[in-house]
Structure 1
Amino acid sequence: MIQTSARLLQLLSLLQVRREWTGPALADRMGVTERTVRRDIDKLRNLGYPIHASPGVAGGYQLGAGAQLPPLLLDDNEALAVALGLNSVAAGPVAGIGEASVRALAKLEQVLPSRLRPKFAMLKAAVTTIPSNAGTVDPQQLTVVSAAISDRRQISFDYVKSDGESARRLVEPYRLVDTGRRWYLVAWDLEREDWRTFRADRLASLPSERKKYTPRPLPAEDLAAYVQQSITRSPYRFDVVVRLRAPLAEVAAVVNSQYATLSADGAMATILRSGWDNLAAPAAYLAALDMDFEILEPGEFKSYALELAHRLKGAAGTVTDAADAEPQPQ
């Protein structure tokens, strides 16, 4: 009985790591006959595991999705990865997931092998997650949007813009992008006939599925980079470009990717591009980086920086207006 149970666990583990197995391949891997494989497949089905079989030479066995979540077999690295993910997701921006992740983590920790407990405790103690102050997202909204993306169906929802104005939007959803602090939806806006990026936490209603749509060419091959540019530059009045006198790695360590896009300019300089609604904010932000920089664009920012420098010198008592200056003794 123990040998049979161990063989079933081995078979289940194999089915989880590959999309499809042929009978002969499973038999060879497990060191048993194909008849034994068929009997063990039937036993797993009786335990609730949905295992599909396709006939023919090219056919095989595939573990499918069932009505209930069956136990999963994880190797050491997978178990640690899942445990650390559950530990960190509690501080994430998806509402209601934190409590569920704590419950799941408690179950996982209870069954972790003794050899993994010290390693997990060490990793858990070394990793600290800062809670996000971004708006939370309803996980059901993400589920509905994901299903619509998979089924190629239009969705409609109420959306609140940054100015507080709310409007009904009808879109073709293409991709959800997680930036770490927020979730964004890349979609084709049917009313505006253009691509749009929507913040998921600003969806004011549960999306409703509509008719199916024919996919259109994406606005960019790298949608993550497209979203980054959309949220750091496109919606703003000023497109600021500066050259920082520091290597890319050094700048990337202090500049959040949600605020700017970075690119190397040789080994010792970095080009920073970012969008702003006013010029005072980027001046303060760049000064706070404590790095030498050169303003490349726009011209208005260069003029503003000169005016600001003059005011700061005056505030420090180091500037005297030439017209009011007292004649200096010869």
Structure 2
Amino acid sequence: MSSLEQRLLNNYQRNFPLVPQPYEQLAGELGSDSQTVRDLLAELLMRGKVSRVGPVFKPRMLGSSTLAAMSVPQEMLTEVATLVNGYPEVNHNYEREHRLNLWFVAVAADQEKLEQVLSDIESRSGYEVMSLPLLKEYHIDLGFRMDAGDKQKVASNTEQNNTDCSFDPALHGSLIAAIQTGLPLTERPYLTVGEQLDLSEETVIETLSEMQSAGIIRRLGVIVRHHELGYRANAMLVWDVPDDQVDALGQQLSAEQKVTLCYQRPRIKPRWPYNLFSMIHGKSRDEVMAYVDDLVDKLALKDTPYEVLFSLQRFKQCGAKYIVQENVPQQAVMR
């Protein structure tokens, strides 16, 4: 990895400039030029190291979302995963080591649409879908450093909304639809977006700034793909915690350096007894398991039931689409 690539990926996973020529500003800070920076980003997109340059929206601020799981026979897994992938509402889809072996995230414009998507997947596949919506967020930050430098954890500001932002479907909805898959790599991307929507460059910049301040946009920047950057061991670490202790443990886990996600979801007994979810990404399975062991010892969690669900296959990973065209039905995968 070149020095320019490393600094670009380290420094701009958040706080992407909201100025007319953001790539020019990045280039100046990196000691390069705008064309070189944009060419490098285009190459990283092509190689899959970067999924987009754009926004990450805060869960529950827009639309409705859930983490869903299915138990699918191994011989049917690829076929069912392909069916699930066909829904634009699904943005992540993984096989994990568990009896519930297919896990996906779905985001829709509202709860009714979300339930329709889940019901449709269930009826067309012939397998039950277990929905685990977010109850409380403690830490969500999928930024990854490319070096061994300062690894201080960035606070996720899970409960902060600094300003109000009255949602205008015509303005905010059209802007979200235009940028949810990424900003263009043009010299003046906000002008390009504005021209598509019949908005001024200034209006696009001001609206994005308002959405950031209101917490609708969690971060704006270079969104990397962890697997392509060497973080190939992806483990979902789930805990069965007494309800009156979940907040305390959630905050403790969130402070740990290698915990990238931490949030509360409902138990679905008897199938699913766990109510606290955390994610750990590492470069190897052994590295992740060593960290889990250290975490259990450090936080005195030996008596707390937990499971480690490593991902085995990534079927789909992309940014959430909050505004989508209606899906064209595929052939059902009935068992």
Taking structure 1 as the reference length, the TM-score comes to 0.24
Q: Which has the higher contact order (CA 8 A, sep 6+)?
A: 2
Higher helix share: 1
Bigger-Rg structure (1/2): 1
**TM-score calculated relative to the size of structure 2:** 0.24
